[in-house]
Amino acid sequence: MSIESMLEKLSLSDATSFADAVSKEGVVKSGLAANIDSLVAKCASSDEDEALAGLATVKALAETCPKAEAFTKECLTACLEQATAKSPAVRAASAETAVAICTKINPFAIKSLLPMLFAQLPVEKKWQVRELALKLLGSFKDSAPTQLGIALPEIVPEVTACMWDTKKQIKKAASDAMTGACEVIGNKDIEHMTSKIITAITKPKEVPEIMHQMAGVTFVQSVESPALAMVVPLLLRGLKEKQTATKRQSAVIIENMSKLVDNPLDAAPFLPLLLPALELNADSIADPEAREITGRAVDQLNRLKALADKQLNVRGDTSKLEEEFVSALKSDGDGVAKVIAHASVIATCMMDLHRMEDTQWKKNVSSLFYPYASESVAEEATEKVRIEAEKMLVVPEEEDEDDDAEELCNCTFTLAYGTKILLHNTKMKLKRGKRYGLLGGNDSGKTTLMRAIANNQVEGFPDTNDVRTVFVEADIQGEQSHLSCIDYVHVDPAIQALSIDKDEIIKVLATVGFTTDGKAKPFHAVSTLSGGWRMKLALAKCMLQKADILLLDEPTNHLDVINVAWVKTYLNSLTDVTSIIVSHDSGLLNDCCTHILQIENLKLHTFKGNLDEFVKLKPSARAYFSFTESKLKFSFPQPGPIEGVKSKGKALMKMSKCTFTYPVNDSPTLFDISVQVSLSSRVACVGENGAGKSTMIKLLVGEIEPQQGDVWKHPNARIAYVAQHAFHHIESHLSKTPNEYIRWRYANNGEDKESLIKVSMQFTPEEEKMQKTPYEISFTDDETGKISKVKKVVGELVGGRKINKSKDYEYEVRYAGSSVDSGEFLPGKILKKMGWDKAMKATDLKIAQRAGLYVRPLSTKNVEAHLEDCGLDREFGTHYRMSALSGGQKVKVVLAAAMWNQPHILILDEPTNYLDRESLGALAGAIEGFDGGVVMITHNNEFCSKLCPETWVMDAGHLETKGDADWMLKQDTKIDDSAQISEVTDASGNVSKVKGQKKKLSKKEEKVMTKRIKTKLKAGEELFSDEEEFAIEKDLI
């Protein structure tokens, strides 16, 4: 029976025989090609029996006769529309048939179904039809995941519109379809963000927060159309936000992600969406800087658009291949146009996915033409079209380097950090046993590249499970700082995985100097280690893992000359281990490296030889290790004068005979240390690892307190301190931008919140007891002159300070039990005896810090400019969270934060760590132009010798001072003999004379003074200030 006669009286029982006939005779001879419209009519029939018969036949064809799919798919619209049929049987059959058509079709042909599905999504359509269409779109994630990925640019906008629907069934089906689509984007970098992107579509209030998270994504894959399809809805939302900051961030992400697009055709579908929104913002945003950034994004997209326009685009446009098929096939049988159109969709999709092998085309394309030509002719015609298609996709490859060495890695990859492109479509080759020095400016991506390698995020790099790769860094996680050195190494997951016992750990640690009688003890907590010993601990942990590939980030940071030599020897002994070394130590790169990898212009360039040989080839690279070649400039704010300090040589900070012992140690770390610092100081503090340098600095700035000796700071001096482990300053604020962090830190009238949490500012139990003990205070009635005495307890100092008649400071107090400020002031000498010495220092500190705020207000623009002066571009300073910054950038943030209140003294503990040579040159220039005092700990001899004529040499806790500063010549005399501050200024800016430090009286002089005071007190006469002070000390009043 012919197909025509079967269609006239089609019944459910005919479905199988109909499909068998088409399979046996083909679409032309069987008559299906000529009668497909009749079958479509049967499926769409309002008669239940006819509709069921038609739907069953189409379902049988879809499931058993793939050669007929070019015709079978034309029944999809009828199936969708039957979703609203009155008959439950028809509704069920229509859904089953539609699913069969969509899931059984050649995966490369799913794009041919999209127009039919999209046509049923408008809100005017019945909700049952719309729901079925959305479910069918979602089904492609299982039947054609790869092909669905490249179709996302078309699918996402259509599904997104349905996610706002008021009908809950539509909203759920759309959300499910979008979630399914997210599973096939093929980009590991943003897979974890897809749920948040979907949330942003339905909850616009989440957009600003999600944009911040997006900025923290590290991209290591080229951005292709599936990833763009998911991100673009979020970016469009961001562009339409009311907040200028979010609009600006969207523009930055758009600009930088577009630079990661290898093929401009990937971006082509999105340009009509993004460009109008960007252009609107570029014209309407009030902030000129944000407008400029948006304009750059517009320019970048226009450049991308121009490139896309130049390329032969076959995506979604099958006409070019249809012409090729018609020319090659030369056939005019029934339905051949439909088959050619179907084959063109398949071929175009294969081109998009670069599936260009002849066997693949023979399997997916040639067989479609067998009903119209012999197999040989069909295959020959298909091959002709495939060759023409290949010409459209030709991409010239880079020439490979000739090298006979064993190849460990040869990969091409892209790397970005948030919105900043670091490396784009670049090649990296590594050979076993070679040592590669990785060069590049700060923020170029050196550490990010090594982290990406360690995390298996660089495509083509050997899996770290197959080739043991170890990333060496000295940072100690806060939650592990209480562990002993042995336990710290032992709990590391990598050490656990290798089943290394503690005995082996103890042996290896001993080889690098961790011994029970040494400076670093294996059973002491890692928090007690200096920076140099922390790095040696990290290297010891690496030695235990017996790595194939070592990734070393600044391995000589914190290390003295002896230990740097040890590191060089160790690295050179690893003949079968490949090393990638990031270092600003030119000696290390010269003595160890066999190759240099340079990051420049988003590419990774390889050079054979060490650093000196590399510089001969690239003289411009001298800036990496020469301070004088640096083109980067830093500028520090000048401190301004301190009232009462007329000479730059007068002491602003000093330590006198200080001895300090850590609680876990039996013997002191520091012995009898006496130093002082003035505005003219340029001091380099040097010594071996663990000698006590950082401990001395912590004593000087008040981070810790000595058990013996005194530490003093001028009450009006402002001190900036950048610690050795600089990131501890910001580790609790990584969700803030640098700009937000500085404004938070100084928000309370210029007070530095960090300076108020030092150990030296915390009351001891003894001081708290003194504060709660009533103290007899004398009051003189201004009218009668009568002196009355009363015992009172001070509740707190409320922040006021003034000069009394004796030219001494008095501080405003609130007495215990009083709910309001008394407005009364007490002399500092009395308050000191009452246990309030630290509170007075805190008041002095606040007043000094406020003075630094008056010169420039704490505004976003001022902080932005200040960060730029300290080397951090406004892009990172104002628009990036600190969690997304590199190590070098974080150091600049810490430095800028410390310098904001225009300090008189700058104290730097290992400032050269994490900064590249260009930044070091800029830092050196800023220090040279700084009018305040500078104290720095550094192992970088070139850096300190350039800047510091004075040297403090620390050796096992004992200090030797060298240099040519004026005060250095007086080190043989007592430190207390130094010139005293002669003037101070109060909170109102009033200048007052300050009495010099009193001379120590002999016993005879004390007796005379005591007698004179008692006589005056008996007669009711007023005491002079020095007499009053003596009387208070000797409890005479």
Poorest-confidence range of 300-309, 613-622, 986-995? Answer: 986-995
* pLDDT tens readout for residues 255-270: 877 777 777 778 887 8
Please check the confidence at residue 968 and state whether its pLDDT lies above 70. Answer: no
Please check the confidence at residue 995 and state whether its pLDDT lies above 50. Answer: no
* Residue for token pair 């005779």: 25
Q: At what angle do helices 738-745 and 887-899 cross, to 10 degrees?
A: 30
Confidence of residue 638 (pLDDT cuts 50, 70, 90): confident
* pLDDT tens readout for residues 401-427: 445 567 778 888 888 766 567 787 788
Token pair of 850 as six digits:
């406020």
Which distant-in-sequence residues (6+ apart) come within 8 Å of 752 by Cβ?
A: 745, 746, 845, 849, 901
Token pair of 447 as six digits:
């550490």
Which distant-in-sequence residues (6+ apart) come within 8 Å of 781 by Cβ?
A: 787, 788
**Average model confidence (pLDDT) for the chain?**
79
* pLDDT tens readout for residues 772-829: 788 777 777 666 767 777 777 777 777 677 666 666 777 877 777 676 665 677 777 7
| 925 touches 478 (CB < 8 A) | no
Sign of CA pseudo-dihedral 405, 406, 412, 413 = negative
Please check the confidence at residue 136 and state whether its pLDDT lies above 90. Answer: yes
- Alpha-carbon gap, residue 794 to 399, rounded angstroms: 81
Average pLDDT over residues 569-592: 84
- Alpha-carbon gap, residue 727 to 352, rounded angstroms: 46
Token pair of 836 as six digits:
């309030």
| 558 touches 474 (CB < 8 A) | yes
Instruction: Name residue 195's amino acid.
Output: S
- Alpha-carbon gap, residue 262 to 338, rounded angstroms: 34
Confidence of residue 285 (pLDDT cuts 50, 70, 90): confident
Strand order, beta sheet including 651-660: 670-678, 651-660, 708-713
Please check the confidence at residue 970 and state whether its pLDDT lies above 50. Answer: no
Instruction: Classify residue 636 by its DSSP letter.
Output: P
- 566-601 as b/e: b if 16+ CB within 10 A: bbbebbeeeeebbbbbbbbbbbbbbbbbbbbbbbee
- Alpha-carbon gap, residue 867 to 747, rounded angstroms: 17
DSSP codes of every residue in 968-1020:
GGGTTS-GGGSPPP-EEE-TT--EEE-PPPPPPPPHHHHHHHHHHHHHHHHHT
| Torsions phi, psi for 684 (to 5 deg) | -110, 125
Average pLDDT over residues 39-49: 90
| pLDDT of amino acid 1000 | 60
Would you put residue 267 in left (φ > 0), alpha (ψ -120 to 50) or beta?
A: alpha
- 3-class SS letters over 665-692: CCCCCEEEEEEEEECCCEEEEEECCCCC
| pLDDT of amino acid 622 | 66
Is 702 strand, coil or helix?
coil
- 736-772 as b/e: b if 16+ CB within 10 A: bbbbbbbbebbeeebbbeebeebebeeeeeebeebbe
* pLDDT tens readout for residues 488-537: 888 888 888 888 888 888 888 888 778 887 777 888 877 777 666 777 78
| 577 touches 408 (CB < 8 A) | no
- Alpha-carbon gap, residue 684 to 91, rounded angstroms: 85
- Rounded to two decimals, the pTM is 0.49
Cα distances (Å, whole numbers) of residue 148 to 79, 177, 449, 863: 22, 11, 31, 47
- Alpha-carbon gap, residue 638 to 247, rounded angstroms: 36
CB count within 10 Å of CB 464 equals 18
Sign of CA pseudo-dihedral 480, 481, 484, 485 = positive
| pLDDT of amino acid 55 | 92
Q: Which residues pair with 909 in a beta bridge?
A: 937
Average pLDDT over residues 306-329: 73
Is 275 strand, coil or helix?
helix
The helix (H) or strand (E) run that includes residue 962 is strand 958-962
Q: At what angle do helices 1025-1033 and 1003-1019 cross, to 10 degrees?
A: 110
